[in-house]
Structure 1
Amino acid sequence: MHDKMECTECHKRAKLDYLLCLKCHDKKVDTSGLTPPYSLNNDIDLSSGSFDPSNFTGHKIHQCLNCHDSHDNDNYRNLKANISGHQIRVNGIGDPLYQDNIYISGMSGFCSACHETNQAHSHPVNVRIFGSKQADYDNWARKPSRLSIAEIPTGNANDILDARVFCMTCHVAHGGPFKNLLRWASRDKEGCLECHVKN
């Protein structure tokens, strides 16, 4: 965590930007095949509706510090606690291998501080998967290699009766191979069938 680092490890550079973050936060994931790719000094089109990266800082380049706080805070993954005047609390439990993170609450509120959630193609969030009329909980729960994930309010990965749909059920935060930061190709609706059953 950043609180265990010396201040000069980051503050010895004149400018704090994502290149500084990548000094430590790289070598784990190859971003060359991702959309958007990590790209030095280039505008990055996130292809996510009305989102404009300049909403954060007045800059065109989307950087780590648009979403993350460089100093520790109480939010999961050091996500900013204040975005565009919105106070946001995000709770989660991190997996050391970053594979099975558990999102407890607040992530959809965090995303919607900048992304509009009332667009024509947006999906409702904070709705329970179990007991939903439009979705099949059993279909979602029995898939051993689910593409989609859910927000789990209890924090217990085995307690999924209250699992809720949230932004990251369908989208990835740091880019992926598919349009609109989806977890699957939008043309084949594979991800939709994670929860919804064809009639």
Structure 2
Amino acid sequence: MIRFLAVCLLASVSVFAAGFPHGSDLPHHPGAGGPGMLLDTPPFTPGYHNGEELNCSDCHIMHASMQHDYGYDDEFDYPINIIPPTEKLLKAPSALQLCLNCHQDKVGIPDVIGPDVNGGVLRAAGQMGDIDAINDNGHNLSSQPGELCGRCHFGGEFHTASVTCVDCHNPHGTRYYRNLQWASDPQHTPPIVAFVNPGASGLQKYQQANVKYGGPGSGAGQPTWREVTNICIDCHHTLIDAGSNGGRYTNRDLNYHWNRHPSTNTEWGAYRPISGLPDDPAYSADSLNWYQGEGSEFSIGRMPFMVTEAHDYQAASEVAFDNEVICLSCHAAHGSANAFGLRWNPGDDSTPLHTAGCRQCHNNVANDLP
């Protein structure tokens, strides 16, 4: 299946892209997902919404009424009646409201909005803001976000575009990390993989300290599972290019003086290790500082990174000069308490700290700071 930009923009993209490097690349390659890939995928223990943990009556109601409470940990008082009856037999007026019946301020369940009711230190995905409100600290969350393409194109604006939980998470499970999926083509999503500390239990599995990231390498015969940030391409494709030297979005003239910060995207063959690449004529990253991890900039915790060809938590935890930069290195997926969902506070009054996230990889251009 050609994914959403191919359907929405095929004619205009083919004309516009003719003069640009990598101009015909689409957000995801047709046929990049689907069955037949599981043997090359790292083993993963499915969580809730999978297998025996997929309970139909948690989310669906057959005839818009339910007489008995079978111990559901939700916001409903039983017996319940859903008036008027909802689409897809949902037990709430929208998928978002249904998700938040469990995932907002419920002790013992991952909490996705605002401060963590479970007292977690730092959730791997961060936190969402208020529903139906512009959130400058992360994704806008809405029960009626509209058609996917139209949220940003054809009259939609990126700043006001909203998401809902089931854009990125499959409520019926994927058997892989956080049930992640391509918003534009869930059916053909390849396994999306991250690694959870096997020693973590309960809600500790959702803490950033217990989640590490891996991805396929760049050589021949590499597996076809993808890193977590592969799903970001759907909406944020103008921040990523194919090829390690960028293209029309990130480095239009291919001179290695980047217009937008490069990041790794294995599906398109774009790898950006902190140490740079052998053919980089000039590079402003400080891989030694990153590896040593000793300055004040690391007081906020080491930024997340990706390890290519890692197939377990231990391998994905290895700090190295050539760790890969991914979207989640700087941004929390849901958002954070900081502008743009950043993992550090760029408004901090302390100069060393408001630049901390940048300096972990670029301390060589700010070496007069402690």
State the percentage of identical aligned residues.
27
User: SS of the counterpart of 2:235?
Assistant: coil
In 2, Cα distance between equivalents of 1:67 and 1:30? 14
Q: Does 1:2 align with 2:140?
A: no
What does residue 318 of structure 2 align with? 159
What does residue 346 of structure 2 align with? 186
User: SS of the counterpart of 2:260?
Assistant: coil
1:102–1:30 distance in 2 versus 1, CA, 3 Å: closer
In 1, Cα distance between equivalents of 2:93 and 2:172? 15
Q: Which fold has the larger relative contact order, with Cα–Cα distance below 8 Å and residues 6 or more apart in sequence?
A: 1
In 1, Cα distance between equivalents of 2:318 and 2:355? 27
Q: Is the 8 A contact 2:113 2:128 kept in 1?
A: yes
What does residue 335 of structure 2 align with? 175
What does 1:1-199 align with in structure 2 at a 5 Å threshold?
1-3=48-50, 4-12=53-61, 13-27=91-105, 29=111, 31-32=113-114, 37-40=128-131, 42-46=132-136, 54=146, 56=148, 61-80=162-181, 82-85=182-185, 87-89=188-190, 90-95=192-197, 96=200, 97=204, 98-99=206-207, 100-105=210-215, 106-115=227-236, 116-117=238-239, 118=249, 122-126=260-264, 127-130=272-275, 133-143=283-293, 146-153=301-308, 154=310, 155=312, 156-161=315-320, 162-186=322-346, 188-199=354-365
- Structure 1 residue 71: deviation in Å? 1.0
Alignment length (residue pairs): 194
Cα deviation digits, residues 119-165 of structure 1 (max 9, x gap): 68632111112456322223223336534110123141443335210
In 1, Cα distance between equivalents of 2:94 and 2:194? 26
Give the TM-score of the pair, scaled to structure 2. Answer: 0.45
Q: Which has the higher helix share?
A: 2
Give the TM-score of the pair, scaled to structure 1. Answer: 0.77
User: SS of the counterpart of 1:159?
Assistant: coil
Q: Which has the larger radius of gyration?
A: 2
1:128–1:93 distance in 2 versus 1, CA, 3 Å: same
- Structure 1 residue 19: deviation in Å? 2.5
In 2, Cα distance between equivalents of 1:157 and 1:130? 17
Structure 2: stretches of 5+ with no match in the other structure: 1-47, 62-90, 117-125, 140-144, 152-160, 216-226, 240-248, 251-257, 265-271, 278-282, 348-353, 366-370
In 1, Cα distance between equivalents of 2:55 and 2:332? 31
1:30–1:125 distance in 2 versus 1, CA, 3 Å: closer
In 1, Cα distance between equivalents of 2:345 and 2:326? 18
Q: Quick check: 158-167 or 139-148, which moved more?
A: 139-148
In 2, Cα distance between equivalents of 1:170 and 1:141? 17
1:83–1:149 distance in 2 versus 1, CA, 3 Å: same
Task: Please tell me the root mean square deviation across aligned C-alpha atoms, in Å.
Answer: 3.3
Q: Is the 8 A contact 2:287 2:361 kept in 1?
A: yes
* Matched letter for residue 234 of structure 2: A
Cα deviation digits, residues 76-102 of structure 1 (max 9, x gap): 21111x332485432111344122211
* Matched letter for residue 318 of structure 2: D
